[in-house]
Amino acid sequence: MYVTVAAMIGKFGEREIIQLTDNEAPYQDVINYNKLNAAIEEANSEIDGWLQGRYPLPLQVTPPFLVNIACHMARYHACTQTITENDPIKIRYDDACKKLKSISKGEMGLGGAPAGESAPTDTSSNNVILVVGRRDFGGRSW
């Protein structure tokens, strides 16, 4: 799971979540958790669709930027009003989809290696070799 109710409230504030979800009579001026959870589930499922070809799911650790992407996607899915192409909600959703597409193509990564697949990096011993008596740079041997 990439986004939670707590993450949505923390990112956008309770007032905006109420405005997004409490949009049917009788208006209660409270968060409609059924609508919010449906939007969250849709966003989480959509992200799984993008990641499943590249990473083993579920992810062991969710990077913070992926939580941010998921919040914007859930916000878009929770929005029932007409959204124009210039609406910030639509722009952020489209940006999130572009980032997920880059991740699925391998152009962008989630950071770190998938669990169980990391290996030590092969490096040199970082030793310096000095040879005494040779003048490769300068001197009269040129």
Q: Does residue 73 register a pLDDT over 60?
A: yes
Question: Mean pLDDT, to the nearest integer, of 100-125?
Answer: 66
What's the longest Cα–Cα distance across the chain?
A: 96
Whether the CB-CB separation of 65 and 95 falls below 8 Å is answered with: no
Task: Say yes or no to pLDDT of 120 above 50.
Answer: no
Domain boundaries, the chain: 5-105
The more confidently predicted of residues 92 and 55 is 92
- Would you place residue 83 in the very low, low, confident or very high pLDDT band (cuts 50, 70, 90)? confident
- Predicted local distance difference test score (pLDDT) of residue 108: 86
Question: What is the dihedral sign for C-alpha 28, 12, 35, 78?
Answer: positive
Residues 75, 12 contacting (CB under 8 angstroms): yes
Work out the pLDDT band at 137, boundaries 50, 70, 90.
Answer: low
